[in-house]
């Protein structure tokens, strides 16, 4: 009868043999002293490994691990941050004030400053002149005009914003800005070590 080979012995102990192979192995082991001895050696090794105790950890690793974690993961969800909320409100208020003012100016100013650049043919002609310069000393700059419209008087705003209301809005905006920045500074993740 064939002895059990190394694979069979190992797989038998690991309980990886199918039923038929296991029964065959057991039958052989029952009658073969040599294979039983080899199996016993392996079993002794298995129990030596199983009995190896864990050794105690001398230091708590928690602090060291936490100190090495990436910082940005500590910042909570954006919309839950007071700074984000405050500064969003601030932006909305400033836009509410700013857009009407800008629109009014845009509509009331009839002509924007205009700059008239010379035509390409004009530039070409002057370039030809420039080539002839060494023969004739005639050179003229192309026409270049810059028109500034007369400034209109300060327009009326389309919405009635009393100076007192403006002042209140600005105070609110400033307060929001302050609170927002303050909370942003406070929510900075602490340094752990």
Residues forming the site for other proteins (CB under 8 A): 6-7, 10, 14, 16, 41-42, 44-46, 48-62, 64-66, 68-70, 73-74
Residues 175 and 93: their CA atoms lie apart, in Å, by: 12
Taking the least distance from each CB to Zn ion, the nearer of 39 and 173 is: 39
Degrees (nearest 5) of the Cα angle 96, 80, 84? 35
Q: Whose structure tokens read 């190992």? A: 10
CA separation for the pair 148, 175 (Å, rounded): 40
Which of residues 38 and 126 has its CB atom nearest to Zn ion in the complex?
38
Q: Which does 68 bind (CB under 5 to 8 A by kind): other proteins, Zn ion, none?
A: other proteins
Positions touching Zn ion (CB under 5 A) are: 3, 32, 34-35
Q: SS3 of 147, please? A: strand
**Minimum distance from residue 168 beta carbon to other proteins (Å):** 40
DSSP state of 14: T
Task: Give the number of C-alpha atoms closer than 13 A to the C-alpha of residue 85, restricted to the C-beta side.
Answer: 7
Backbone phi, psi, residue 114, to 5°? -120, 145
3 binds, among Zn ion, other proteins, none (CB under 5 to 8 A by kind): Zn ion
Whole-number minimum distance, CB 16 to Zn ion, in Å?
19
* Least CB distance to other proteins at residue 1 (A): 22
Nearest approach in angstroms of CB 61 to other proteins is 5
Give the 3-state secondary structure of residue 142: coil
Cβ closest to other proteins, residue 66 vs residue 170? 66
């Amino acid at each position: 009868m064939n002895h059990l080979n190394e694979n069979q012995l190992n797989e038998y102990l690991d309980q990886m043999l199918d039923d038929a192979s296991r029964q065959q192995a057991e039958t052989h082991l029952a009658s073969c002293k040599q294979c039983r001895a080899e199996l016993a050696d392996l079993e002794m090794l298995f129990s030596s490994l199983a009995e190896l105790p864990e050794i105690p950890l001398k230091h708590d690793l928690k602090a060291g691990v936490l100190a090495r974690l990436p910082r940005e993961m500590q910042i909570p969800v954006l919309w839950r941050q007071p700074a984000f909320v405050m500064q969003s409100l601030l932006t909305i208020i400033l836009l509410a004030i700013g857009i009407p003012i800008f629109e009014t100016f845009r509509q009331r100013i009839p002509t924007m400053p205009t700059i008239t650049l010379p035509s390409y043919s004009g530039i070409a002609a002057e370039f030809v002149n420039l080539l002839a310069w060494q023969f004739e000393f005639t050179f003229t700059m192309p026409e270049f005009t810059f028109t500034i419209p007369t400034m209109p008087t300060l327009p009326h705003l389309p919405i009635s914003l009393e100076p007192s209301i403006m002042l209140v809005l600005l105070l609110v905006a400033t307060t929001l800005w302050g609170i927002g920045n303050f909370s942003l500074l406070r929510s900075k993740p602490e340094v752990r070590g």
